């Protein structure tokens, strides 16, 4: 029985070796199989050669052409430098980002700050310091509330601080050169805010009659609040003053005369209401 099993196993082994040999010869005779890769068609797209901020006017040095799959071309792309040179940047762009038409101003609009001011709005710049400017966190695109403090210098009997503008967009945050009382140039931090025309009047009056302060907001928090403002007396917690009443002795002294003799006796005070 063992002899028959050994013979069957040997025949199976020989058949497997023969099949492998025949397969090897077939593959060798056909030669190597060449797989031809088909390349997807590409086109040229104008992209940013470096990072650029809002208001920058594009030049030939700011752009380059990059290959882009033709089936995945973004909407509003440009294919030649002439289409974008001279146009202003409306939104910040990063290196190798396609310069889409939606992120660029028209050529006749030029560049700089005016092209990013929406219709019906105004841009106003105010001088600040590190404290008023929230220690450098008032960056372009952030939102702030504007508080004003008025005191006797502004003709107010009792000083008051109140929010006058809310949810104001910061357009730019930089520095300006002014001259001090001696005529020497000094650097003054400046923040430019995007406001409605009526709010520009409030901001002008606040900066001329009082002292302003910026309060940084969560960019996603667009709610407005109604506050009454605060005066100096409202900063301190009012405490009730309890006046102690006059103490009433538990007993009274009575003078008693017996002939020429005088004596003083203590008598308990009767309870109230008796």
> In CATH, which of 3.40.50.300, 3.30.70.260, 3.30.420.40, 3.90.1210.10 is domain 42-114?
3.90.1210.10
Q: Which pLDDT value is given to residue 46?
A: 94
pLDDT at 142 over 60: yes
Distance CA 54, CA 64 (A): 19
User: What's the average model confidence in pLDDT over 11-23?
Assistant: 70
pLDDT at 164: 94
Long-range contacts of 72-79 (CB under 8 A, 24+ apart): 73/43, 73/45, 74/45, 74/98, 74/100, 75/100, 76/100, 76/101, 76/102, 77/45, 77/46, 78/45, 78/46, 79/43, 79/44, 79/45, 79/46
Name the pTM for this structure: 0.56
- The tens digit of pLDDT for each residue in 217-273 reads 998 888 988 988 888 887 777 666 556 556 666 667 766 666 667 776 776 766 665
**Residue with structure tokens 């109230």?**
272
Determine the longest span between alpha carbons in the chain, in angstroms.
160
Residue 99 has pLDDT above 90, yes or no: yes
Over residues 176-204, mean pLDDT: 77
Give the Cα separation of 152 and 158 in Å (integer): 7
User: Phi and psi dihedrals of 138, rounded to 5?
Assistant: -85, 85
Q: Is it the case that residue 59 has pLDDT exceeding 80?
A: yes
| pLDDT value of residue 74 | 87
- Domain borders along the chain are 42-114, 117-234
């Amino acid at each position: 029985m063992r002899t028959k099993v050994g013979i069957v196993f040997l025949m199976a082994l020989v058949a497997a070796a023969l099949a492998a040999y025949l397969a090897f010869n077939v593959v060798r005779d056909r030669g190597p199989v060449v797989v031809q890769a088909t390349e997807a068609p590409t086109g040229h797209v104008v992209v940013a050669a470096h990072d650029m901020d809002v208001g920058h006017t594009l030049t030939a040095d700011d752009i380059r052409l990059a290959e882009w799959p033709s089936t995945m071309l973004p909407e509003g792309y440009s294919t030649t430098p002439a289409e974008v040179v001279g146009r202003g940047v409306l939104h910040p762009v990063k290196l190798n980002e396609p310069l889409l038409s939606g992120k660029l101003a028209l050529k006749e609009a030029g560049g700089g700050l005016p092209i990013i001011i929406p219709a019906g709005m105004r841009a106003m710049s105010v001088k600040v310091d590190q404290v008023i400017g929230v220690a450098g966190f008032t960056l372009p695109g952030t939102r702030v509330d504007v508080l004003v403090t008025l005191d006797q210098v502004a003709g107010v009997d009792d000083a008051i601080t109140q929010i006058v503008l809310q949810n104001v967009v910061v357009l730019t945050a930089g520095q300006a050169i002014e001259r001090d009382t001696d005529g020497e140039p000094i650097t003054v931090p400046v923040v430019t805010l995007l406001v409605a025309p009526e709010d520009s009047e409030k901001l002008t009056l606040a900066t001329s009659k009082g002292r302003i302060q910026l309060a940084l907001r969560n960019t996603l928090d667009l709610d407005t609040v109604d506050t009454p403002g605060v005066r100096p007396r409202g900063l301190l917690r009012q405490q009730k003053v309890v006046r102690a009443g006059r103490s009433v002795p538990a007993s009274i002294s009575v003078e008693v005369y017996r002939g020429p003799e005088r004596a003083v006796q203590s008598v308990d005070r009767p309870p109230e209401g008796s």
